[in-house]
Amino acid sequence: MSEGVIAKLIVNDIRNQPAMKPKAIQAKIEERYNLLATDDQCRKARKKALDIIQAEYDEQFARIKDYKLEILESNEGSTVDVRTAINEGGFEVFDRFYVCFAALKKSWKAHGRPIFGIDGCFLKSGTKGQLLVAIGRDANNQIYPIAWACVQVEDTESWLWFIHKLKGDLNLRDCDGFTLISDRQKWLLIAVEKELPKVEHRMCARHIYGNLRRFHPKKPKLRTLFWEIVHSFNEADFDAGMKKLEAYDVEVYEAFKQRNPNSCSRAFFGIRSSCEHALNNFSESYNNVIEKARALPLIEMLETMRRQTMVRISLRKEKAGKWNKRHSLKVDKVIAAEEKERKYCSVAIPSTNGTYEVIENGIAHKVHMGLRTCTCRRWDLTGIPCRDALKVVLLRKLNVQNYISDWYLTSEWVVQYSDTIEAMNGFKFWKKSGEPTLTAPPREPSTGRNKLPEKRKNGINEEPKKGKKVTNHGRTMQCYRCGLMGHNSLKCNNGGVPYKPRKPKKAKTKTTGGMDSGEGPSQQSQPTQTSGF
């Protein structure tokens, strides 16, 4: 068998395992076809198989406009935008790509909570660029992908374009009543301020903490004090935490104030979305989920993300269908945690209009069962009864399920995953859009041993470039005895030159238990014996 034949036989295996070793290829050839192949043949066949796959990727990339047409035909109502540019050679090249599938935006607008996160991450393939994603939350507080885009550079123009497209798909308008979570990337802040002027913009607390930690590394109590401020549900706890930080270190306190602590503390978050999170971890978690996809060429990456979303919807639909309680799984976990803290609430004194005064750790909290509010703001912010409200529920023998936000209803959880992305055809069946094809980006040079220079390939010998080598080649010798150049001391013929012995090298001795490396005492230490003559 030749390398080309082996490459065709294993090309599908290489698609699934690009890093397959030659030994594994040998084993597969022998197992399937009862034939033997050498290690060198398998190594070359693997390279040829990768070239075949890369050629397919290049063809897919050139037909990215046909890919847009396939999405619009198979998923009617989706939004796809392909932007191109003209390079210096006059060829049309890729610039940016945006997609929001109809099923995703329809489900989020109808049943999703008014909170979403946006984030960017690097692509790891030969197509250099950035991947921008928008992620929402479902009724069980889990990741719900909404839209994604690929751009050349993460700058203000790219973010403005992405947010403008997202705003149109999700009908955000000026974003009044919506919540956005992101990091403090400067270009992103400019775009959000321009496109979403009325959004509640929460800053990721982890990024702020990382910046403070980088500039103030030797502060052991910074972590505890910082997260105490972030996790404060009300302004009283927030002010107490800020005073502790100021008393600990004024410089860190001033640095934190410059980063607007109100944007990352729960004490100042709105209550409409029933989400208390101060981290953009659900966007970053999604970036980790698609980490392998980001290493693929552009079209294959987009297709992998689409298929992963289809699998996610299918699994979530099955999970939600099996849940037989009124509210989602997250509610049970939160209430179980608050039940453990309810023991610190001593009494619940009733008042008028459904209000109660609950004493927790010696401090009174006003609980309004009708408005579903509490002075601690846990209930207000999460939409799930806090420990003070649970104390009233226990004493008055109420049904706790009647006091949970409708965002967590199992019926909403099921309907969020009732619609999914429609299946699509492979690039072999894509219809021609009739538009010019794009030029695929140049491939990265293959790694391996250095190839021969072009001149030597054509039969022209070229003197190797002189470099620093740890050898005597090219050195001019100098005699140790006479000091003249051109010879060494062993070949010195200059008479009358006194012999200069070299300095003796220091002997290396090893000691074991205080003794020398030889057995017993050295001969110099032994007394000399005199003869009898």
Burial (0-12, 13-18, 19+ Cβ within 10 Å), 172: buried
Residues 6+ apart with CB under 8 A from 495: none
Give the angle subtended at the CA of 307 by the CAs of 301 and 308, to the nearest 5°: 90
Compute CA distances 68 → 61, 302, 421, whole Å. Answer: 11, 11, 15
What pLDDT was estimated at residue 518? 41
| Rounded Cα gap, residues 496 and 481, in angstroms | 11
SS3 253: helix
- Tokens 């029933």 found at: 274
Residues 6+ apart with CB under 8 A from 500: 480, 481
Q: How do residues 67-122 score in pLDDT, each as one tens digit? A: 999 999 999 999 999 999 888 878 888 899 999 999 999 999 999 999 999 999 99
Q: Is the pLDDT of residue 447 over 60?
A: no
For the chain, how long is the longest CA-to-CA vector? 130
Selection from 81, 118, 86, 120 nearest residue 97 by Cα: 81
| Rounded Cα gap, residues 496 and 479, in angstroms | 14
Give the angle subtended at the CA of 98 by the CAs of 93 and 102, to the nearest 5°: 140
Confidence of residue 126 (pLDDT cuts 50, 70, 90): low
Mean pLDDT, to the nearest integer, of 486-506? Answer: 71
Confidence of residue 521 (pLDDT cuts 50, 70, 90): very low
Q: How do residues 277-329 score in pLDDT, each as one tens digit? A: 999 988 888 998 999 888 888 898 999 999 999 999 999 999 999 999 999 99
Strand locations in 101-195, DSSP E?
115-122, 130-137, 143-151, 179-182
SS3 243: helix
Helix, strand, coil in percent for the chain, rounding step 5: 45, 15, 40
- Amino acid letter at 390? L
**Region of 510 on the Ramachandran plot (φ > 0 left; ψ -120 to 50 alpha; else beta):** beta
Mean pLDDT, to the nearest integer, of 51-61? Answer: 84
Specify the length of the chain in residues. Answer: 533
Confidence of residue 514 (pLDDT cuts 50, 70, 90): very low
Burial (0-12, 13-18, 19+ Cβ within 10 Å), 480: middle
SS3 361: coil
| Rounded Cα gap, residues 406 and 143, in angstroms | 18
Residue 485 DSSP code: B
SS3 18: coil
Confidence of residue 532 (pLDDT cuts 50, 70, 90): very low
Phi, psi of 98 (to 5 degrees): -135, 140
Confidence of residue 125 (pLDDT cuts 50, 70, 90): confident
pTM score: 0.78
Residues 6+ apart with CB under 8 A from 121: 130, 131, 133, 287, 294
Q: Is the pLDDT of residue 124 over 60?
A: yes
Q: How do residues 194-230 score in pLDDT, each as one tens digit? A: 999 999 999 999 999 999 999 999 899 999 999 999 9
SS3 473: coil
Compute CA distances 21 → 3, 36, 445, 511, whole Å. Answer: 15, 16, 20, 49
What pLDDT was estimated at residue 513? 44
Phi, psi of 125 (to 5 degrees): -95, -170
Selection from 296, 401, 309 nearest residue 102 by Cα: 309
Confidence of residue 453 (pLDDT cuts 50, 70, 90): low
| Rounded Cα gap, residues 4 and 22, in angstroms | 15
| Rounded Cα gap, residues 498 and 468, in angstroms | 35
Confidence of residue 498 (pLDDT cuts 50, 70, 90): low
Q: How do residues 333-392 score in pLDDT, each as one tens digit? A: 999 999 999 989 988 899 888 899 999 999 999 999 999 999 999 999 999 999 999 999
**Please, what is the average pLDDT of the chain?**
86
Confidence of residue 527 (pLDDT cuts 50, 70, 90): very low
The alpha helices in 327-397, defined as continuous H runs, are: 329-341, 378-382, 387-396
Selection from 74, 93, 70 nearest residue 83 by Cα: 93
- Tokens 């079209």 found at: 299
| Rounded Cα gap, residues 1 and 529, in angstroms | 82
What pLDDT was estimated at residue 522? 41
Cβ-based neighbour number of residue 77 at 10 Å:
11
SS3 349: strand
What pLDDT was estimated at residue 497? 67
Q: Are strands 92-100 and 143-151 parallel, antiparallel or unpaired?
A: antiparallel
Extract the tokens encoding 18: 């690009």
- Quote the distance between the C-alpha of residue 474 and its chain's center: 52
Q: Is the pLDDT of residue 459 over 70?
A: no
| Rounded Cα gap, residues 411 and 417, in angstroms | 10
Burial (0-12, 13-18, 19+ Cβ within 10 Å), 186: exposed
What pLDDT was estimated at residue 523? 41
